[in-house]
């Protein structure tokens, strides 16, 4: 499903160059849930963001579901992302002045495969799975950190894309909600054949995954 080969990314800040990721090769199949672990600053988000086509690599190749999406224009790239990835970013990237319902709906508005009449049902199903169905009418700005995190997760599930990319999706959650989220993601992988990549600092999350990728100083270690 995902084949990333020899990905490389450096950032220049002033006179310094930081090599955030070097020579990273990752493959992930359908039905697999893979944890990406490593110390802060080791390149986990950069790797995930390159695979998710948000950060362009300096070099290397990415193939998603048999196609090589690099080199498309912004619009094609956005459409490709929406068709393939449910994304949970490290900062949640929610619209704080909008309701929970509107936030979860957002990717549906860009999705070409889910008919409009199905939006409401999908949004309620995703919200129910994350136990925030009673919050759909609230504005995101009044929610707790853990509730916000669950809105971001519901939004990543609502289009039911083949790949879910999650950057620390359980960092703000209590143990019960964390375990619920991991169970939902595992079920998407194992029962529906989705591919899940999850960055985590939590060993109890990594332990439940099918496989663990470890990063240190921008390099994938054995
Ligand atoms: N936009 C950027 N500009 C400059 N440097 C960056 C940028 N993004 C990341 N870096 C640097 O690249 C390195 C890897 O960052 P990255 O965010 O991938 O780490 P991480 O493993 O996700 O860390 P954390 O666990 O803290 O989220 C770090 O040294 C970071 O400072
Ligand atoms: Mg990160």
For residue 69, the model assigns a pLDDT of: 84
Q: Is residue 62 part of a domain?
A: no
Tell me, in angstroms, the distance from the centre of ligand 1 to residue 138's CA.
33
For residue 49, the model assigns a pLDDT of: 96
Q: Is the CB of residue 18 below 6 angstroms from any atom belonging to ligand 1?
A: yes
CA atoms of 5 and 167, how far apart (whole Å): 20
CATH of the domain at 146: 3.40.50.300
Kindly state the tokens that stand for 203. Answer: 């060993």
Q: Is the CB of residue 157 below 6 angstroms from any atom belonging to ligand 1?
A: no
**CA–centroid distance for 92 within its chain:** 10
Q: Is residue 5 part of a domain?
A: no
Kindly state the tokens that stand for 170. Answer: 């359980």
CA atoms of 195 and 214, how far apart (whole Å): 18
- pLDDT, averaged per 10 consecutive residues of the chain (222 residues), comes to 97 93 98 98 97 94 90 84 93 93 96 94 97 97 94 95 96 91 95 97 97 98 93
Domain, as residue range, for 123: 28-56+70-221
Q: Which atom of ligand 1 is nearest to the CA of 218?
A: 14
Neighbours of ion ligand 2 (CB under 5 A): 45
pLDDT tens per residue, range 84-114 = 999 998 888 999 999 999 999 999 999 989 9
Q: Is residue 90 part of a domain?
A: yes
Q: Which of 174, 126, 189, 176 is nearest to 153 (CA)?
A: 126
Sheet holding 2-13, edge to edge: 16-28, 2-13, 59-64
Tell me, in angstroms, the distance from the centre of ligand 2 to residue 215's CA.
11
Tell me, in angstroms, the distance from the centre of ligand 1 to residue 221's CA.
17
For residue 6, the model assigns a pLDDT of: 98
pLDDT tens per residue, range 106-141 = 999 999 899 999 999 999 999 999 999 999 999 999
């Amino acid at each position: 499903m995902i084949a990333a080969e020899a990905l490389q990314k450096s950032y220049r800040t002033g006179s310094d160059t930081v090599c955030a990721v070097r020579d990273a090769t990752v493959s992930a199949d359908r039905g697999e849930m893979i944890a990406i672990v490593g110390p802060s600053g080791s390149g986990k988000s950069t790797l995930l963001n390159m695979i998710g086509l948000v950060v362009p690599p300096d070099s290397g190749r990415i193939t998603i579901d048999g196609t090589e999406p690099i080199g498309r224009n912004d619009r094609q790239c956005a459409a490709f992302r929406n068709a393939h990835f449910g994304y949970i970013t490290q900062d949640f990237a929610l619209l704080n002045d909008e309701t929970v319902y509107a936030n979860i709906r957002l990717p549906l508005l860009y999705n070409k495969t889910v008919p409009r009449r199905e939006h409401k049902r999908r949004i309620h199903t995703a919200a129910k799975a994350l136990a925030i169905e009673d919050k759909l009418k609230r504005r995101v700005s009044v929610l707790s950190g853990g509730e916000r995190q669950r809105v971001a997760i519901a939004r990543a599930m609502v289009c039911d894309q083949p790949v879910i990319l999650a950057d620390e999706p359980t960092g703000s959650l209590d143990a019960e909600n964390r375990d619920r989220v991991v169970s939902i993601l595992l079920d998407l992988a194992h029962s529906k054949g989705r591919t899940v990549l999850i960055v985590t600092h939590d060993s109890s999350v990594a332990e439940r995954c099918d496989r663990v990728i470890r990063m240190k100083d921008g390099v994938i270690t054995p």
